[in-house]
Amino acid sequence: MKAARFDYVRPADVGEALAALAKAEGAKILAGGQSLGPMLNLRLARPALLVDISRLAALQQVEDTGRTWHIGAGVTHARLEDARGRLSGGEMLCEVAAAIAYRSVRNRGTIGGSLAHADPAADWPLALAALGASVNVRGPTPRNILVAHFIQGAFTTTLAANEIIESIDVPKLSRAGRYGFYKFCRKTGEFAEASAAAVFDPESGVASIFLGALRGIPQPLASLAQQVARQRKIAASTEAVNQAIAQSVRGLDAVERSMATAVVTRALMQVLAP
Amino acid sequence: MTPIALSVNGRKIQALVEPRTHLADFLREHCRLTGTHLGCEHGVCGACTVLVDDEPARSCLTYAVQCDGLAVQTIEGFDVDPIMQELRTAFSREHGLQCGFCTPGMLIAARDIVRRLPDADARRIRVELSGNLCRCTGYLGIINAVESVIAARASKPTAVASAAAATPPAPLQAFAPTGEVAPVSMATPAAALEEVRTGWTRLRRVLWWQDRRRRYGRSLRTFLQWSPASTGPS
C-alpha cells in the first residue's frame, strides 16, 4: 500500500502555507499525518499537493492566557500527555491526550489535525466540544468558532480549502470544576466504539455532557447535564441516562444505546466521585 | 523528486526522493536497512517503529521528505545502546520473540517505555505496547522482558525517584448551570460522508486479515490441526 503521487512543500510560516493552499488545486494540509497517512497509503485520499505545517514554530505554543489555555494547532498529543501536572485547569487535556492511539502515533499526531479530520470516533472533537473550546482559524478572514459548531458532521468541518486552524482556546476549569471521560475501544488505542465526555464547573456555571463516536458530530445531553448539576447525583438505575440518550440521539440500535448509556454513566461517575 | 539530507543511525545521508515514498521504504530500499519491518503500512501493527529525532514514530506514516534535516534511528543503530543491550538479553531470556517480525518495532517501543516510564507495572507495559502487534508470543514473554529490565534498573542506586502522588480534587458541588456550552443543532451528516468512515474501517479490517492470512495462513492451519492426542507420547 503506497500513496499515489503528490507534491510536497514545507512553508516557513503560516502566511506561506496559506499562499501555497490558495495557489494549488487539491492541496491538503499535512500536520502529524497520523490520519491522513493511512488514507494516503490506502489511496482513499489523493491530494495533488501536501502542505507540511508540522514544523511551523507559530503553531507549537502552549500558553496560559489566564482564563484559557491557548494551544497551538501543531501541538502533539504526546506533548499534552507529558504536560500532566503543569496544565492547571486543563488536566482533562492531558488525560484525553494520553489515551489517544499509541505513543508513536501521539508523538506526531496533533490536536489541530484531529479537529480538521473530524473523525466522529476521535477523542479531541468530543472532549473539546464538552470543554466549550473554540478554534482560531486563519484564512482570508480570521475567525474564532466553537468546536461544537466547527464540526458539522462525519469528516466535515467549516474549514475552507484556503484556511488553516491556528490554535485552540480551551477554557480552564476552576478548582471546583470536575470532568469525566470514558470510551469503549475493541482494543486499546483503536478508535472508540462509544465515548462520552462530561464537564461540570460550579464557578463558571458550565454543565455539559457530550456523547461521541456517533455517526455524525458529538451530541450534547443538555437536560441530563442540568439535572446532574442541580442534584449532584445520577439516578440509581441507568434507566434515566438511557432515556436521556434516547431523547437526544436518534438512530441508535439497542447495542449502541447500551454502550452509550455505559460510557455516559461511567464519565458521570468520574465527575461525581467523592 | 525532492532532495533531502538527513542523518540515519548517525550517518549523514543525501538523497533524491519522491514525496510519496514513506520513511520505511526509504530506509529499506535506499539505505538497505531492512531491520525496519513493514506489516500493515497504515499505522496499526507497529512493526515499522523507528526513532525520529529521538521519539518513536511509525515510519509507514512518515514520509521521507518530512525527515529532511532530522535524525532517524533504526534498529540497526542501537548496537551500543545500554538499554537496548539489556532489552536484547531480556527478550532472549524471557522468550520475547519467535519469528522476529515484530521485534524491531517492539524493542524500540520497549526502550521508550523503559526511558519514559521507570515506574511502569505489567499492566501499564501492556497498555503502552498495545500499538505493537505480535502473533507468536502471546505477549507474556515480551511483558516479562520489559518488566525485568525496568526492575533491574530501579534497583540501581541511580534510579529516578518516583513523582509524588497528585492530590485528588474536591467533590462536585451542586449548582444551577448558567454558562451552558452553546447548544448544537442536530446537524444532518451527509450519508455519503458517513460511508467514508464505515468503508474505511471495513477496508482496513479486510486488508489486515488478508495480510495476516497471506503471511500466516499456513502455519495457522497447521496449528489448528495439531492436537495433543495426535502428537502425544506413544
User: What residue ranges define each of the domains in chain B, with the CATH number in brackets?
Assistant: 2-77 (3.10.20.30), 80-154 (1.10.150.120)
Q: How far is B142 from chain A (nearest CA, A)?
A: 17
Question: Is the CB of A176 less than 8 angstroms away from the CB of B163?
Answer: no
Give the closest of B2, B116, B182 to A8, CB-based. Answer: B2
Q: What is the pLDDT of residues A8-20, one digit of tens each?
A: 999 999 999 999 9
Q: How far is A104 from chain B (nearest CA, A)?
A: 4
Of A133, A129, A145, A266, the C-alpha closest to A210 is A129
Average pLDDT for A166-193:
96
B49/B35 Cα distance (integer angstroms): 10
What percent of chain A has a predicted confidence (pLDDT) above 70?
Answer: 99
Distance between first and last Cα of chain B: 65
Could you say which residues from 231 to 260 on chain A have a Cβ atom under 8 Å away from some Cβ of chain B?
231-232
Give the closest of A38, A149, A225 to B61, CB-based. Answer: A38
User: What's residue B188's pLDDT?
Assistant: 47
CATH class of A7-52: alpha beta
Please determine, for residue A23, whether its predicted confidence score (pLDDT) is greater than 80: yes
Question: Is the CB of A153 less than 8 angstroms away from the CB of B188?
Answer: yes
Average pLDDT for A215-219:
94
Q: Cell numbers at residue B206, please?
A: 479486510
Q: Cell numbers at residue A142, please?
A: 480570521
User: What's residue B103's pLDDT?
Assistant: 98
Q: Is A82 helix (H, G, I), strand (E, B) or coil?
A: helix
Amino acid, single-letter form, for residue A217 = I
Interface mutation target, options A103, A174, A228, chain B, most CBs of B under 10 Å: A103
A127/A42 Cα distance (integer angstroms): 28
Average pLDDT for A231-251:
86
Average pLDDT for A36-58:
97
**What is the CATH code of the structural domain delimited by A57-171?**
3.30.465.10
Average pLDDT for A73-95:
97
Q: How far is A110 from chain B (nearest CA, A)?
A: 13
CATH for A178-272 (3.30.390.50, 1.20.1300.10, 3.40.50.720, 3.30.70.100): 3.30.390.50
Low-confidence ranges of chain B (pLDDT < 50): 159, 163, 183-188, 227-234
User: What's residue B187's pLDDT?
Assistant: 43
Task: Please give the ipTM for the structure prediction.
Answer: 0.94
Contacts of B18 in chain A (CB under 8 A): 5
| Whole-structure pTM value | 0.86
The residues, ordered by sequence, that sit 6+ positions from A15 with a Cβ below 8 Å of its Cβ are none
Question: Is the CB of B179 less than 8 angstroms away from the CB of A3?
Answer: no
User: What's residue B232's pLDDT?
Assistant: 42
Q: Where do runs of H (alpha helix) occur along chain B?
A: 23-25, 82-93, 103-116, 122-128, 140-154, 191-225, 228-231
Interface mutation target, options B44, B73, B184, chain A, most CBs of A under 10 Å: B184
Reported as type and span, the H/E element at residue A225 is helix A222-231
A145/A90 Cα distance (integer angstroms): 19
Domain layout of chain A by residue ranges? 7-52, 57-171, 178-272
Q: What is the pLDDT of residues A108-130, one digit of tens each?
A: 999 999 999 999 999 999 999 99
Q: Cell numbers at residue B140, please?
A: 507474556
Q: With bands split at pLDDT 50, 70 and 90, how would you rate the model's confidence at A255?
A: very high
Question: Is the CB of A215 less than 8 angstroms away from the CB of B194?
Answer: yes
Reported as type and span, the H/E element at residue B50 is strand B49-52
Q: Where do runs of H (alpha helix) occur along B66-190?
A: 82-93, 103-116, 122-128, 140-154
Average pLDDT for A92-97:
98
